[in-house]
Amino acid sequence: MNMPATKIEVETATPAASAAPVVAMTPKRPPRSEAYARMARETAVRVIPPLVVIALLTLVWELVCRRAGSALPPPSKVFKDTKELILDPFFDHGGIDKGLFWHLSASLQRVALGYSLSAIAGIALGVLVGQSVWAMRGLDPLFQVLRTIPPLAWLPLSLAAFRDGQPSAIFVIFITSIWPIIINTAVGIRNIPQDYRNVAAVVQLNPLEFFSKIMIPAAAPYIFTGLRIGIGLSWLAIVAAEMLIGGVGIGFFIWDAWNSSHISEIILALFYVGIVGFVLDRLIAGLGKFVTRGTATS
Amino acid sequence: MTAYLKLDHIDKIFTRGAATTEVLKDINLTIEKGQYVSIIGHSGCGKSTLLNIIAGLTGATTGGVLLENREVNSPGPDRAVVFQNHSLLPWLTVYENVKLGVDKVFSKTKTRAERDAWVMHNLNLVQMAHARDKRPNEISGGMKQRVGIARALAMEPKVLLLDEPFGALDALTRAHLQDSVMALHQKLGNTILMITHDVDEAVLLSDRIVMMTNGPSARIGEVLEVPLARPRKRLELATNTTYLKCRQRVLEFLYERHRFVEAA
């Protein structure tokens, strides 16, 4: 009977005695450099593999396109041709002869406006459809048909309605990105556990409080899934729409470069489009993570 | 006997399409102020439905619930519920979860500082004040249930409804929490109605045990008074003859006269 008890005592006593000074020491000095070293290592593990792959791909591209008579320029030529555009993105010679920064910013402004509208309208409609059975029966079939229409198919119609390029582009962004927002929000609302509704009922929250305190936080993970798909779609749509409506914007910049046979500029623009799209996606994902930090089901 | 909470001829019939199921039949029960009453029965007998009717979350088909001689048929903080799976809102901290109810119930009668103090007072009652800034997924199941109890208590309910509050907990945590609830009942004198399927729990905690027959058309089969003095001590009761007799009565009811038949 006595044996296990004494054994435990001995076991716990020794590490505690030897560990005490170590515990007191560690938080003071060594960790800082150690932490930096670990951080550097972790960053290296993440950054080096893609860099290697990019270097290899660039090399292959260089080798393939270097031959005389190649239709596409090799990376070295792309860099040489577009050096001015890369180094000075802020020039403005009037009209559409502007630096890439201005083209991107014009596109981003359109996306910001169209996407904000679709986020507001999408969440509102999603809540309606998720909450009301009759709204769902009435609207859902309509949404399922409308959401399959390709973004650009809306453009002629919106040009006819608005008689101007700018609002038409914004409308195309809106109509493209709204469907995933509506559908995901509705699913999120429909999936609010009955328990949360019961809690709200017992506490007697009024509809407005229920909306802000229960519904939106409970559905937030779904809503952000919709918002993230939406931002991707709207960035897809803006480039295509701008090619057709003209004016300042990254889409038209690409189209213009094609018309003037500046293939290098197209490649540079594509690079930027990709980076911006990636950043937008990360931005919404990060926002979602921040907003829903405590919402993991428990 | 003065009726504080009165269940008056409650029937509940669920209708799905053409099929109707009578879940509860002619439930009559009066509960005095400050009493601790347990409702026990096999699973599927409609205990939870009955609790939902009292809470106002489900309507009775016929009959009604009277609280202090006034009919209640919609949910409200005067009949606060402690749910089986705690139902804390995961995006709010422990403090905010309790505060949600407090802010609603005392919005006019208490100042902001008073409400804050009241939330902390109730968290202290269940010994959860130390976790005020934690989120529900950062605390254990027993702690969540404590917070659930604090949230219900903080609304100063006339009747506290417990829906199998200890069902999802391990045995040790359960015993600990039962003692806490007993101590709270002793201290605050709440009227408590508890749903349970645990015989020991029912006998230990209750003044009266309401035994329900099997569904469909479940009725109240028997009501047993538990004449044990309070405060009750778990260890002392283990050999107490009254305790054992009460326990025996409930067991006989559940396992002899109203044995649970699968898919009956």
Would you kindly state where each structural domain of chain B is located, as residue ranges? Answer: 5-78+157-263
d(CA B82, CA B145): 8
- Locus of tokens 């779609």: A233
Between positions 140 and 179 of B, the ones with CB within 8 A of A are 144, 155
d(CA B90, CA A297): 7
For residues B57 and A179, is the Cβ–Cβ distance under 8 A?
Answer: no
Strand partners, A245: none
For residues A244 and A254, is the Cβ–Cβ distance under 8 A?
Answer: no
Would you kindly state where each structural domain of chain A is located, as residue ranges? Answer: 105-293
In degrees, rounded to 5, the angle at the alpha carbon of residue B166 between the alpha carbons of residues B160 and B172 is: 135
pLDDT in tens, B145-192: 999 999 999 998 999 999 988 887 888 888 888 998 998 898 888 899
Which residues of A are less than 8 Å from B90 in CB distance? 294-298
pTM, whole model, 2 decimals? Answer: 0.78
d(CA A170, CA A172): 5
Residue ranges, chain A, pLDDT below 50: 1-26, 296-298
- Identify the CA nearest to A221 among candidates A115, A282, A297: A297
B209 burial (CB, 10 Å; 0-12 / 13-18 / 19+) is buried
pLDDT in tens, B198-218: 899 999 999 999 998 887 888
Nearest by CB to A199, from B74, B87, B136: name it. Answer: B87
Q: What is the CATH number of domain B5-78+157-263?
A: 3.40.50.300
d(CA B197, CA A58): 70
**Closest Cα in chain A, distance from residue B100 (Å):** 8
Cα A86 to the center of its chain, rounded Å = 24
Cα A164 to the center of its chain, rounded Å = 28
ipTM, 2 decimals?
0.85
**Closest Cα in chain A, distance from residue B117 (Å):** 19
- Identify the CA nearest to A247 among candidates A170, A151, A157, A152: A170
Between positions 20 and 59 of B, the ones with CB within 8 A of A are 55-57
Q: Does B215 touch chain A (CB under 8 A)?
A: no
Q: In A191-215, where does DSSP find H-type helix? A: 194-203, 207-209
pLDDT in tens, B4-61: 888 888 888 888 888 888 888 888 899 999 999 999 988 878 888 899 999 999 888 8
Topology adopted by domain A105-293: MetI-like fold (1.10.3720)
d(CA B128, CA B130): 5
d(CA A60, CA A62): 5
Residue B77: cis peptide before it, omega within 30 degrees of 0: no
Phi, psi for residue A38 in degrees, rounded to 5: -65, -40
Nearest by CB to A203, from B85, B101, B136: name it. Answer: B101
